């Protein structure tokens, strides 16, 4: 039942990863702009009781991040000021700057009432509890009445 979390994308992603690993071996080092089309990069880990989401968004003001969970769609919006210094001459400009908007589909039992977010060393960590009903339950077999 939790397998609906971007099953197809995850499979596709694995293929990219494999390809990338092979390229790493050929070229020695991977470029840093690997996921620039989907900034910021995200990790989602689903355990029995909760969902942990990590995003790499260094150098943002956490007050200016907008985090919403509507049904099971988690959305993080924000803006990075990187690479916008005035009156200077850039010789290298690789860091992402500007607005970003990332939406992640979570398992359907994500509880939008129980969400916590923390920002530390440029990593945004969001914890979402899963609704009780989703946890596996032990079902006792009752003896027939009257025996």
Q: Which residues bind another protein (CB under 8 A)?
A: 2-3, 5-6, 9-10, 13, 29-33, 35, 38, 41-48, 50, 52, 54, 56-60, 82-83, 85, 87-96, 104, 107, 119, 121-123
SS3 call for 125: strand
The single-letter DSSP state of residue 58 is T
CB of 139 to another protein, least distance (A): 20
Nearer to another protein, 63 or 142 (CB): 63
CB distance 115 to 75 below 8 Å: no
Cβ 79 to another protein shortest distance, Å: 14
**CB 113 to another protein: min, Å:** 21
The Cα 26–Cα 23 span in angstroms is 5
**In the complex with another protein, which residue's Cβ is closer, 29 or 143?**
29
Question: Considering beta carbons, is residue 71 or 146 the nearer one to another protein?
Answer: 71
Q: Strands 42-46 and 66-70: what pairing?
A: unpaired
Bridge-based pairing state of the strands 42-46 and 50-56: antiparallel
């Amino acid at each position: 039942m939790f397998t609906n979390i971007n099953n197809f994308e995850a499979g596709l992603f694995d293929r990219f990863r494999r390809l990338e690993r092979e390229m790493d071996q050929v070229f020695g080092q991977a470029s840093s702009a690997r996921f620039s089309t989907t900034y910021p990069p995200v990790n989602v880990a689903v355990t029995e009781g909760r969902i942990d989401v990590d995003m790499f968004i260094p150098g943002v003001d956490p007050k200016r991040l907008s985090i919403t969970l509507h049904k099971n769609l988690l959305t993080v919006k924000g803006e990075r000021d990187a690479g916008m210094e005035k009156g200077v001459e850039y010789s290298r400009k690789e860091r992402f700057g500007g607005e970003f908007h990332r939406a992640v589909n979570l398992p359907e039992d994500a509880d939008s009432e129980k969400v916590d977010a923390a920002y530390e060393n440029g990593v945004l960590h969001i914890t979402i509890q899963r609704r009780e009903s989703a946890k596996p339950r032990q079902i006792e077999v009752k003896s027939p009445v009257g025996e």
